[in-house]
Amino acid sequence: MRVDFYQLSRDPAELVVPLLARATKMAGEKLLVVSDDGEQLDRIDKQLWEAAPEAFLAHGKAGEAHEARQPVLLSNAMSAPNAAKYVVLADGQWRDDTDGFDRAFLLFGDDRLQEARACWKSLGDVEGMERNFWKQEGGKWAQMA
């Protein structure tokens, strides 16, 4: 499994998720976006509609009609009715039930920096785990580790 840590220093998660969703779509994969914050999911939903009108990102919310067909599914749970292999943890909270996913994106701000560091360290002990760390520098994402 691959885990990408994204330290949000400039843009909030709702602006980063559409970028990850677009890249996931280009990779031919489906995406699950998880947050315990319902208002954050609403903001992400809005950004997926408005972020790039010329490149619409089809998506839906878990529990709504056609959830299994959605290429991007927003949820407060780690189950993926859309058979997503990629998951974004938009609220910065790592969840141990990432089995079944090929790739996870952990988005975190300064308020969750210590938790992210602890997660990075603990995942380093997991066999077969690939970790990458990304940080915004000058408006662009740079791989730091």
Task: Kindly report, residue by residue over 15-61, the tens digit of the pLDDT.
Answer: 999 999 999 999 999 999 999 999 999 999 999 998 777 777 899 99
> Residue 122 — very low, low, confident or very high, per pLDDT cuts 50/70/90?
very high
For the chain, what percent of residues have pLDDT higher than 70? 99
In the predicted model, is pLDDT for residue 139 greater than 90? no
**Averaged pLDDT of the chain:** 95
- Per-residue pLDDT averaged across 96-112, rounded? 96
Task: State the helix-helix crossing angle for 38-50 and 13-26, rounded to 10 degrees.
Answer: 60
Cβ atoms of 133 and 145 closer than 8 Å: yes
pLDDT of residue 52: 72
CATH code for 2-140? 3.40.50.10110
pLDDT of residue 35: 99
pLDDT of residue 124: 95
Cβ atoms of 121 and 129 closer than 8 Å: no
pLDDT of residue 51: 78
pLDDT of residue 137: 87
Which is higher by pLDDT, 123 or 137?
123
For the chain, what percent of residues have pLDDT higher than 90? 89
In 10 A of CB 115, how many CB atoms?
14
Q: For residue 112, what is the DSSP state?
A: G
pLDDT of residue 69: 97
